[in-house]
Amino acid sequence: MLIIDLIKDAVFAAIAAIGFGAISRIPRRAYLWCGLIAAIGHSLRFLLMGPVLGSMNIIVATAIAAFVIGSLAVFVSPFARTPAEAYLFPSLLPMIPGIYAYKSFGGAVMCILGRDPERFDFYFRQFTQNGFIVISILMAMVICATIPIFIFRSRAFRATR
Partner 1 sequence: MTCTTIPEPFESVYLSDDPLTPVDRQCCSKEVCLFLTEYAERLLGAGATCMRIERNINRMAAVFGKKVEITIMPRHVHMTVWHPGADDIYTYISTVKAAPISYSLNTRLSQLSWNVADDHLTLREAERRFRKIITSDHENPWLTLLLASMANACFCGIFGGDWIAMLIVFIATGAGFNLKQVLASRHVDARVIFFICAFVSAVIGATGYIFPLGDTPAIAVGTSVLYLVPGIPFLNSFNDLLYKHYICAICRFLDALVLTGCLSLGLILAMKIMNVTLF
**Does the protein bind partner 1 through residue 134 (CB under 8 A)?**
no
Question: Does the CA dihedral 52-99-134-10 come out positive or negative?
Answer: positive
CA distance 36 to 45: 14
From candidates 2, 7, 15, 60, binder to partner 1 by CB under 8 A:
15
Q: Please report how close the Cβ of residue 57 comes to partner 1 at its closest, in angstroms.
A: 19
C-beta closer to partner 1: residue 13 or 40: 13
Stretch that binds partner 1, among 10-18, 47-55, 56-64 (CB under 8 A): 10-18
**Does the protein bind partner 1 through residue 147 (CB under 8 A)?**
yes
C-beta closer to partner 1: residue 27 or 60: 27
CA distance 153 to 64: 20
Q: Please report how close the Cβ of residue 131 comes to partner 1 at its closest, in angstroms.
A: 13
From candidates 48, 68, 88, 137, binder to partner 1 by CB under 8 A:
88
User: Of the candidates 98, 97, 79, which has an alpha carbon nearest to the alpha carbon of residue 34?
Assistant: 79
From candidates 61, 74, 85, 133, binder to partner 1 by CB under 8 A:
85
Q: What angle do CA 42, 45, 48 make, to 5 degrees?
A: 150
Q: Residue 149 half-sphere exposure, CB side, CA atoms within 13 Å?
A: 18
Interactions with partner 1, residue window 43-72 (CB under 8 A)? none
CA distance 59 to 138: 9
Pure H helices in the chain: 2-23, 31-49, 58-80, 85-92, 98-113, 120-151, 153-158
Site residues for partner 1 per CB under 8 A? 8-9, 11-13, 15-27, 30, 42, 81-83, 85-86, 88-89, 92-94, 96, 98-99, 102-103, 105-107, 109-110, 138-139, 142-143, 145-147, 149-150, 157-158, 160-161
